[in-house]
A and B are shown apart, each in its own frame.
Chain A
Amino acid sequence: METTTHVLGHVDGSSVVSNSGTKVICSVSGPMEPKSRQELPTQLALEIIVKPAEGVQSTREKLMEDQIRSVLTPVLARYLHPRQFVQICLQVLEAGESRDYTVKEVSVCVNAAVLALVDAGVPLLSMCSGTCIGITTEGKQLVVNPTESQLAKCESVHVYCLELGTNENGDIDVRNLLLLDSLGSFDESQLFKVLETGEKECIRLYTELRSVIKDKVAKDFVWRQ
Chain B
Amino acid sequence: MTESIDIHPIVFPPEVLARISPDISLQRHLSLETRPCSRGFEEFRDVAINDGNISRYSTNCQNATTNNIIGSSLLRSGKTFVITSITGGIIEETLPANNTEDVGEEELMKLSEDTDRLCENSTIYPVVEVQRGRVGGPTDEEMITSEKLYKTLLHSGILKKTALAVSCGIRRTEEDGSVTTIYSDELLDEEKKINEANNRKWSYVLYAKIQVFSRNGPIYDLCWNSLISALKTVQLPRAFLDERAADLKIAIRTRGRSMTIRETYDILCDPHKSLPLKLNEGELCYGSNYGIIDIEPLAQLAKNDDEMDVDKPTSVLLADIETEAEESSILSTLSLTTNKNGQFKAATIIGGDSKITPEMIKRCIFLSKQRSKDIESKV
What's the minimum C-beta distance from A178 to chain B, rounded to whole angstroms? 5
Scoring A residues 71 to 85 as 1 if CB is less than 8 Å from chain B, else 0, what string do you get?
Answer: 001100000000000
Is B118's CB within 8 Å of the partner chain A?
A: yes
Is A215's CB within 8 Å of the partner chain B?
A: no
Scoring B residues 324 to 348 as 1 if CB is less than 8 Å from chain A, else 0, what string do you get?
Answer: 0000000100000000001111111
Does B350 contact A62, Cβ atoms closer than 8 Å? no
Does B144 contact A66, Cβ atoms closer than 8 Å? yes
Within 8 A of B (CB), among A120-175: 137, 149, 152-157, 163, 175
Within 8 A of A (CB), among B104-150: 114-118, 140, 143-144, 146-148, 150
Within 8 A of A (CB), among B333-372: 342-353, 355-356, 358, 361-362, 365
Is B152's CB within 8 Å of the partner chain A?
A: yes
Does B155 contact A184, Cβ atoms closer than 8 Å? yes
Scoring B residues 149 to 163 as 1 if CB is less than 8 Å from chain A, else 0, what string do you get?
Answer: 011101111000000
Does B118 contact A100, Cβ atoms closer than 8 Å? yes
Does B365 contact A154, Cβ atoms closer than 8 Å? no
How many residue pairs between the two chains, A and B, have CB atoms under 8 Å in the bound complex?
99
B-binding segment of A5-13, A20-28, A109-117, A188-196:
A188-196
- CA–CA, A156 and B343, complex, Å: 12
Is A33's CB within 8 Å of the partner chain B?
A: no
What's the minimum C-beta distance from B79 to chain A, rounded to whole angstroms? 25
Known: A59-B147, A176-B356, A179-B350. A152 touches B115 (CB 8 A): yes
Known: A176-B356, A183-B346. A66 touches B140 (CB 8 A): yes
Q: List 23 A-B contacts (CB under 8 A).
A: A59-B147, A60-B147, A62-B143, A62-B144, A62-B147, A70-B352, A74-B351, A74-B353, A100-B155, A149-B115, A163-B351, A176-B356, A177-B351, A177-B356, A179-B350, A182-B348, A183-B151, A183-B152, A183-B346, A186-B344, A191-B365, A192-B358, A195-B361
Interface residues of B (CB under 8 A from A): 114-118, 140, 143-144, 146-148, 150-152, 154-157, 283, 331, 342-353, 355-356, 358, 361-362, 365
Interface residues of A (CB under 8 A from B): 59-60, 62-63, 66, 70, 73-74, 100, 137, 149, 152-157, 163, 175-188, 191-192, 195
